[in-house]
Structure 1
Amino acid sequence: MESLCSVFLIRWIECITSTFDIYCSIFDIRFFKVSFIDQAGSPLARGDFMKIACIISMFIIVLSADIAGARAESKSSGIGRPPADNRAVEHEFVFVRAIYTNYPGSDGSGLGHGYSGTWRQWWETDFSDADRNLLRGLQRYTTMDASSKGFKAMSLTDPMLFEYPFLYINMKRIPLYSGNGPDFKPEEAAVLREYMLRGGFVMLDDFWGPEHWQDFLLELAKIFPDRRPERLPIDHPIFHSFFDINKITQVPGRGVTWGFGMGFVLDSADFPTAVHGVFDDRGRLMMTVNFNTDLGDGWEHTFDEFYPTSYCNAAYKIGINTIIYALSH
Structure 2
Amino acid sequence: MKFYQKHFFLFLSCVVLFGTCAGAQSLGLLKYKGGGDWYANPTALPNLVQFCNAAIGTQLEANAQTVELGRDELFQYPFLHMTGHGNVLFSPEEAEALRLYLLAGGFLHIDDNYGMAPYLLKELPKIFPDKELEEIGSDHPIFTEPYRFAEGLPKIHEHDGKRPRALGYFHEGRLVLLFTLETDLGDGWEDPEVHNDPEAVRRKALQMGANIIHYAFKN
- State the TM bucket, normalised to the shorter chain: 0.7 to 0.9
Distance of 1:305 and 1:285 partners within structure 2: 30
Gaps in structure 2 of 5+ consecutive residues: 1-21
Output the TM-score relative to the length of structure 1: 0.56
Aligned residue number for residue 98 of structure 1: 30
> How far is the alpha carbon of 1:99 from its aligned partner?
0.7
| Corresponding letter in the other structure for 1:272 | R
Asked if structure 2 preserves the Cα contact closer than 8 Å seen for 1:139 and 1:147, the reply is: no
Shift of 1:168: 0.5
| 1:231, distance to aligned residue in structure 2 (A) | 0.8
1:306 aligns with 2:192: no
| Structure-2 separation of matches of 1:147 and 1:198 | 23
2:72 aligned residue:
159
Closer, same or farther: CA 303–140 of 1 in aligned 2, 3 Å: farther
CA distance in 1 between counterparts of 2:52 and 2:99 reads 27
Question: C-alpha root-mean-square deviation of aligned residues, in Å?
Answer: 2.1
Q: CA deviation at 1:188?
A: 1.3
Provide, for residues 14-71 of structure 1, a one-character-per-residue CA deviation record: whole Å limited to 9, x for no partner. Answer: xxxxxxxxxxxxxxxxxxxxxxxxxxxxxxxxxxxxxxxxxxxxxxxxxxxxxxxxxx
SS at match of 1:124: coil
- State how 1:147-296 maps to structure 2 within 5 Å: 147-149=61-63, 151-170=64-83, 172-173=84-85, 180-208=86-114, 213-247=117-151, 248-252=153-157, 264-265=159-160, 268=161, 271-280=162-171, 282-296=172-186
Q: Distance in 1 between matches of 2:141 and 2:110?
A: 18
Separation in structure 2 between the aligned mates of residue 143 and residue 313 of structure 1, nearest angstrom: 17
Deviation at 1:283, TM superposition (A): 1.8
Contact 2:87 2:120 in 1 (8 A): no
| Post-superposition offset of 1:207 | 4.8
Q: Give me the whole-angstrom Cα distance separating, in 2, the residues matched to 1:223 and 1:147.
A: 28
Segments of structure 1 that go 5 or more residues without pairing to the other structure are 1-89, 104-111, 113-121, 174-179, 257-263
- Cα offset for 1:276? 1.2
Looking at structure 1, the residues matched to 107 and 208 of structure 2 have their Cα atoms a distance apart, in angstroms, of: 15
Contact 1:251–1:295 (Cα < 8 Å) also in 2: yes
Q: Deviations over 1:250-272 (max 9, x none)?
A: 111xxx7xxxxxxx45xx2xx22
Aligned-residue offset at 1:214: 4.2
Deviation at residue 304 of structure 1 after TM alignment: 5.0
SS at match of 2:168: strand
- SS of match in other structure, 2:99: helix
List 4+ stretches of structure 1 deviating above 6 A: none
Q: Name the % identity.
A: 31
**Structure 2 length normalisation: TM-score?**
0.82
Corresponding letter in the other structure for 2:45 = D
Q: Decide whether the 8 Å contact of 1:137 with 1:316 is kept in 2.
A: yes
Larger gyration radius, structure 1 or structure 2: 1
The whole-number CA distance in structure 1 between the counterparts of 2:26 and 2:48 is 11
Structure possessing the higher relative contact order (Cα contacts under 8 Å, 6 or more residues apart)? 2
CA distance in structure 2 between the aligned counterparts of 1:322 and 1:243, rounded to whole angstroms: 10
> Any conservation in 2 of the 1:276–1:290 contact (CA below 8 Å)?
yes
Aligned length: 197
**Aligned match of 1:124:** 39
Does residue 143 of structure 1 match 2:34?
A: no
